[in-house]
Structure formats: structure tokens, C-alpha cells
Amino acid sequence: MFPAGLAAAFQQRFTDAGVEVRTGLRVESGQETTDGVTLTLDDGTTITADAAVAGLGIEPLTQLAEDAGLAVDDGITVSSTLVTDDPAVFAAGDVASYPDRLLGTRRVEHVDNAQQQGRQAGRNLAGAGETYDHTPMFYSNVFDLGYEAVGVVSSSLRSVEDWAEPDVTGVVYHLDDDDLVAGVLLWNVPGKTDEARKVLAEAHALTPDMLPGTITAD
């Protein structure tokens, strides 16, 4: 997700906190013992611990929708009002592939989208017929830092970094192949997701050299 320098600084925070970080390895097997668990890694080493937590990601469960004849494309396809091919069926949250007003077709796995989209689907089920026009944010709080982001945040994209304090407080703009802002990362810059959405909405009018200072860290 993060530019190389920020990623290294972020990982160092874990190391400084006493966490041993093992990168580039996979768990091949695990065994529960009387004292905890033992994991065998693909380089032949083992790790013994009191407990193991696995974060494996998700895949949207769309079989029910497919069996019902609904359109599916990396999630259940919905319109701007969150309705599926069947006007009596709505979808929202992690499973819904919807047209974001700023970023095009997306499927978002985060609490902000689930809350806002679920609320809108409920209103539309009750007959409101309103467009879902919220571009969701995602966030995390780790140790003494917090970040928020809107849009596509990926290390595969070119970035423009605007730091008040390098790798501590600042804004990272992620640019697509046309040098347009596709995502904004707010690193220890709270409460400015609406400003980030404004940057995304005005991306065609912003050249990369105009981005520093667009969102301030104060």
C-alpha cells in the first residue's frame, strides 16, 4: 500500500516495539501442542508461540446471487441505488460491486462502506430511491499513529509525497497512468477525508506539481 520509504519506517515501528517481523515467507503447516502452536515456514524454520492468528483476506460469497440469476462481477453487481438485476433485491457492504461517483466500479471491504451503504440500502428498500454517492474511507490505528485513506492506495501507483515531518505526518497522493489522483493517504492527518474526496473529484484539474500543500497536515 505504502511508498517504499514509508513502508520501511512503518515496519521499523513494529521492530522497535519488540515485534519480530518475518517477510517473504509462507506458513506451510501448523500444529497445536500442549503449550501452544508450532508453525513450519517454507524456509524450513519453525516458530513456537502461545497462539497464532491468521489474516487470510476474503472472497465475496456470490453463489446464492448467481443461482438466483443476478449479475456477478467480483461481487454482486448493483446500480447506483444499490439494486441488483431483480428490483426486489438489494446488496450492500463487502459483497456489493457498485458504481462509485468518483472512482468508477468498486467493491470495498471496510466498515465505513458497510455502514453507509447498508444505511442507504435500507432507505431504498423503504422506497427512498436515492443514489449512493458516498466515496468511503478506510483507516487504521497502529501504536501511536493513525492513517486514513480514500480511493486507490497502492505501491504500484506513482506517488507524490507531501510531508510535514517525513514518514510521521503528511499526505501521499497516488496517481494513475494518466497522472490523475486515484487515491489519497492521510498519514497522521486526521479529519480530512472530505478534503481528500474533493481532490479526487477535481483530479482532472490538478497536475502533480499542484498537489503539495493542497491538503495541509495542520
- Report pLDDT for 57: 77
Nine-digit cell string for 44? 524450513
| 89 lies in the same domain as 148 | no
| 84 lies in the same domain as 108 | yes
CATH code, 107:
3.50.50.60
CATH code, 198:
3.30.390.30
- Report pLDDT for 54: 87
Residue 197 covered by a domain: yes
Structural domain containing residue 185: 137-210
pLDDT in tens, 47-65: 999 999 988 778 899 999 9
Residue 218 has pLDDT above 90, yes or no: no
Among 125, 149, 167, which residue terminates a domain? 125
Residue 48 covered by a domain: no
Residue 179 covered by a domain: yes
pLDDT in tens, 93-125: 999 999 999 999 999 999 999 999 999 999 999
Q: pTM for this one?
A: 0.87
Domain count, the chain: 2
